[in-house]
Structures are given as C-alpha cells and as structure tokens.
Amino acid sequence: MIAGYVRDFDVLEIMKNMKKRIKDSSDKYFVQKKAFTLVELIVVVLILGIGTAMFYSVLSMNWMASEQHITRSDMWQELNRVVETANADGRRSNLITVSNPLSVIFSDNNGTVIATYTITAGGLIQRDTGTGPVTLSEKADQTNSSFVINGRSVIMTLVLQENVMGDPVQARTSVEIFPRN
C-alpha cells in the first residue's frame, strides 16, 4: 500500500474483517446470554414481593376502614330508632322517673306506666310496655350509657359499641326528653 493511497482490494478486505469481528463478538454475546442470572431473578422476585406487600397493607387498611364505617352507620341508625321511640313515649307521658342510672319509667297522670327503658349488664337496651320486654339494641355500653333526671325531663345518654376486626367502634348520643305538660 502506498502512503495516502488505499486500493480497492484493501478497503474490501478491511470491511470484510470488520464484519467478521462484529459478527464474532455479537455471536459470543448472544451465546453467553442464554438465560437470566440468579441475581436478576432474585431482584425481580424481591420487587414483586415488596409491591405485593404494599398493595395488601393498603387493601386491608381500606377494607377495615370500610367495615368500621358500615358498622358505625348501622349503630347510628339503631341509636336514632331507640331515641325516636323513647321520645315518643316521653311525649305521651306526664311523669318521668329514674329509679337508677340504667332505668327510666315513663308514666301518665294516673300512674299507669307507658314504658320502661332498661340498659342491662349484657348490653341490651330494652323497652317494656307491660306486655314483656322488647330488645331495641344488643350493643349498649352499660358503663357509658345512663338516664339522668333533669328537672321534669330526662337526659338519655346512649353509647353503642361493637368490635370490628379487633378494633372497638362506638356511636354515642345524648338527648333530653321532655314529658307532656
């Protein structure tokens, strides 16, 4: 080869050698890289495990919050039903008597008992109109619920409690019931 001058034959030979080197190096790469390495598989499994754990924890927290919300809503409906019933009995009565903090008696002028409300040790709120007790709720928290006389009226504080997935859920209300004049 003359300096500064390249013959066609030399250029073709150089290109042929380059193609051969590229092909050989790419063949070696693909021949050596037939499968994933153990480290790559462990990394993928680790990433999937972390993602699954995060998804499960979020899902379980949302599930528990949803269950607690549904339970609290049901307890509020139950409390409203008890309060409306007691309020109706209170409006029909002329006299309200609290014999103990867990029992209230609504009666008329003649002393006839209209209804008696009792909170039992078993967590029952019962209404008795003389025909036998009827359970209005089975979730009463006896230690936090009470009937307190306030002049002619009674302040009824009711707390319902239920465990949802190991956590206590409460609904609380306090209402003053006045008798008829």
Cα separations in angstroms, 177 against 29, 72, 104, 156, 162: 87, 24, 11, 7, 26
pLDDT at site 10: 74
For residue 173, the model assigns a pLDDT of 93
Report the pLDDT averaged over residues 33-45: 86
Average pLDDT, the chain: 87
CB neighbour list of residue 79: distance below 8 Å, 6 or more residues apart: 137, 158, 160, 171, 173
Q: What is the pLDDT of residues 120-159, one digit of tens each?
A: 999 999 999 989 999 999 999 999 999 999 998 999 999 9
When mean pLDDT is compared across 30-39, 62-71, 161-170, the lowest value belongs to 30-39
21 pLDDT band (50/70/90 cuts)?
A: confident
Q: What is the pLDDT of residue 1?
A: 47
Q: Specify the range with the lowest mean pLDDT, choosing from 34-38, 98-102, 159-163, 168-172.
A: 34-38
Give tens-digit pLDDT for 65-84.
999 999 999 999 999 999 99
- 154-168: burial string, b at 16+ Cβ within 10 Å, e else: bebebbbbbebeeee
Mean pLDDT, residues 36-58:
93
